[in-house]
């Protein structure tokens, strides 16, 4: 397929490479032009603007940071909407507000351009290994048309319902992920403060009901003092903010998520925003006067 890709950060660059490996022709654009230039050696074609990316593309994919960023590259000056052809598709794989997603989709539909919201879970490692979990909202027939793209990027794509429901699914994912990781960090901090053998405890609890992906993967990284990002602290803080905004719109009280959000806000202010989300444990270490290390 003739594709466009806007946003070539830690996630977007390897996703673009996987699309090229799958045989697709991809035009790319990034706000920092050097990132697009770097991909030209892998077969990507550098474009001059999001509008230029969308021109001639059957599908244009967006992978940027937050709701305002998506609005800018899709609806702004020289945005995708100015270049997209009728009956083409825009797939927003960013994690943004469900209500903003619906607004953007309505604007695109005025130009007879289809939209899917398809945020992902799996982080940088999933993007690199084409093993992302992709949650999709929009028209079912458009989802079916775009399955070859999702198959090239992830090990599972799930149709979740109408426009915005992919973003809702991603926020559900983040409620559970952030809550679980916070519990992992607290458990390991509790173990470290008590003086128990952390490796023994880790082996014990990963074999029981407490086990989870967060414990097995990020808990293990905490013990090794490995805070390289699969998903960054500042991005987790952003997603938790989106969850609270959506919950307020629905008048749904949440008890745990707002507290965890404040923890991420605090460590982001400490200059740890570019570290992996497992750096949440550093907040507990500072509060408790302990270091979690095997």
> Mind listing the pLDDT tens digit for each residue in 68-125?
999 999 999 999 999 999 999 999 999 999 999 999 999 999 999 999 999 999 999 9
Last residue of a domain, one of 101, 133, 162: 162
**pLDDT number for residue 195:** 97
Task: Mark out the alpha helices in 41-97 (DSSP H runs).
Answer: 50-54, 67-75, 80-83
Give dist(CA 248, CA 30) in Å, integer. Answer: 33
Give dist(CA 261, CA 242) in Å, integer. Answer: 10
Say whether both 189 and 125 belong to one domain: no
Which residues of the chain have a pLDDT value below 50? Answer: none
Looking at the 3D structure of the chain, how many domains does it have?
2
Give dist(CA 45, CA 189) in Å, integer. Answer: 48
**pLDDT number for residue 42:** 85
**pLDDT number for residue 106:** 98
Q: Which of 20, 60, 13, 9 is nearest to 152 (CA)?
A: 20
**pLDDT number for residue 182:** 98
Which phi-psi region, left, alpha or beta, contains residue 92 (left: φ > 0; alpha: ψ -120 to 50)? beta
**pLDDT number for residue 39:** 87
**pLDDT number for residue 37:** 84
170 a catalytic residue: yes
How much of the chain, in percent, has pLDDT values that exceed 70? Answer: 100
Contact (Cβ atoms closer than 8 angstroms) between residue 111 and residue 86: yes
Last residue of a domain, one of 162, 188, 205: 162
Say whether both 156 and 176 belong to one domain: no
Q: Residue 103: how many CB atoms within 10 A of its CB?
A: 16
Say whether both 124 and 195 belong to one domain: no
List the catalytic residue out of 35, 170, 232, 282. 170
Asked if residue 294 belongs to a domain, the reply is no
247: domain range?
A: 169-288
Give dist(CA 191, CA 114) in Å, integer. Answer: 51
Asked if residue 90 belongs to a domain, the reply is yes
**Which pTM value belongs to this model?**
0.94
**pLDDT number for residue 41:** 81
Say whether both 158 and 173 belong to one domain: no
């Amino acid at each position: 397929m003739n594709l466009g890709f806007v946003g070539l950060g830690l996630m977007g660059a390897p996703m673009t490479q996987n699309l090229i490996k799958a045989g697709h022709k991809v035009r790319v654009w990034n706000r920092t032009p050097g990132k697009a230039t770097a991909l030209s050696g892998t077969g990507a074609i550098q474009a001059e603007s999001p509008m230029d990316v969308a021109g001639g593309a059957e599908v244009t994919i967006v992978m940027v940071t937050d709701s305002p960023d998506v609005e800018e590259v899709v609806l702004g000056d020289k945005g995708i909407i100015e270049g997209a052809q009728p009956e083409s598709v825009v797939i927003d794989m960013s994690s943004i507000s469900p209500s903003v997603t619906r607004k953007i989709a309505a604007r695109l539909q005025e130009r007879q351009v289809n939209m899917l919201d398809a945020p992902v879970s799996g982080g940088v490692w999933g993007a690199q290994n084409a093993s992302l979990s992709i949650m999709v909202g929009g028209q079912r027939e458009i989802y079916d048309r775009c399955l070859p793209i999702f198959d090239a990027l992830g090990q599972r794509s799930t149709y979740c319902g109408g426009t915005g429901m992919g973003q809702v699914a991603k926020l559900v994912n983040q409620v559970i992920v952030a809550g679980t990781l916070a519990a992992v960090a607290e458990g390991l901090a509790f173990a470290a403060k008590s003086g128990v053998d952390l490796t023994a405890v880790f082996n014990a609890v990963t074999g029981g009901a407490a086990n989870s992906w967060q414990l097995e993967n990020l808990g293990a990284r905490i013990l090794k003092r490995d805070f390289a990002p699969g998903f960054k602290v500042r991005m987790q803080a952003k997603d938790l903010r989106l969850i609270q905004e959506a919950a307020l719109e629905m008048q749904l009280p949440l008890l745990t998520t707002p507290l965890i959000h404040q923890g991420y806000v605090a460590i982001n202010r400490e200059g740890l925003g570019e570290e992996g989300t497992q750096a949440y444990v550093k907040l507990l270490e500072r509060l408790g006067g302990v270091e979690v290390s095997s």
